[in-house]
Amino acid sequence: MAAPGPRIPPLPHAEWDVCTTELLSGTVPGGRQGSASNLLMTLAHDSSLLQLFMTCVRRLLVNSSLPVRDRELIVLRSAWLCQAAYAWAEHVRIARAAGLGAADIERVAGGPQAGGWDDFELALVQAVDQLHATATIDGETWQMLASRYSAGQLIELTMLAGLYHLVSWTQNAAGIPPNPGSAGLAAR
């Protein structure tokens, strides 16, 4: 459960250092103006961590070797499991722009038990659930993923799920609210 309101407010522009100004002056992964993001403006309290975060996001989202649909299923399931309103709403927006429909997004919230998954997508969702619950992926699920993914993509999958757990924990603990106009966990 997220903290009730911001525990760490977004850092005002007037307090940004040079590094933060450079990082947040343009469009960031996901197509949003960096300075319009409550998450990034909150992370601006530590510009070196913000820079590291932006590097990871660029690699795992912008330069991903995973198909965009797979990537968004992984991110959305991670956000849903952590009940991270900010990450969920932002990635519903990104997933919809990438072609996922309302039924796909509802299925992510329903998890592996939701009907309608093909075998590979079911394995993706099961992998995220297993990482969340046990910090590993069982052999059967791994085999299904390895039937389509390279070794590098398997590593990327686990790191992407981990990154969005980290993001979710940070958002929830710091009380970072969804961006203005966002529906949070109700977004579909």
Record the pTM. 0.90
pLDDT of residue 27: 61
The contacts of residue 11 (CB under 8 Å, 6+ apart) are: 20, 41, 42, 44, 45
- For residue 27, the SS3 value is strand
Using one digit for the tens of pLDDT, what is the confidence trace for 47-76? Answer: 999 999 999 999 999 899 999 999 999 999
Residue 72's CB: how many other CB atoms inside 10 A?
24
Q: Whole-angstrom Cα distance, residue 23 to residue 179?
A: 18
Encoded tokens for 65: 């070797």
Q: What pLDDT band is residue 35 in, cutting at 50, 70 and 90?
A: low
What's the mean pLDDT in 20-30? 76
Encoded tokens for 178: 């969804």
Q: Sketch out the chain's domains with CATH numbers.
A: 15-62 (no CATH), 68-186 (1.20.1290.10)
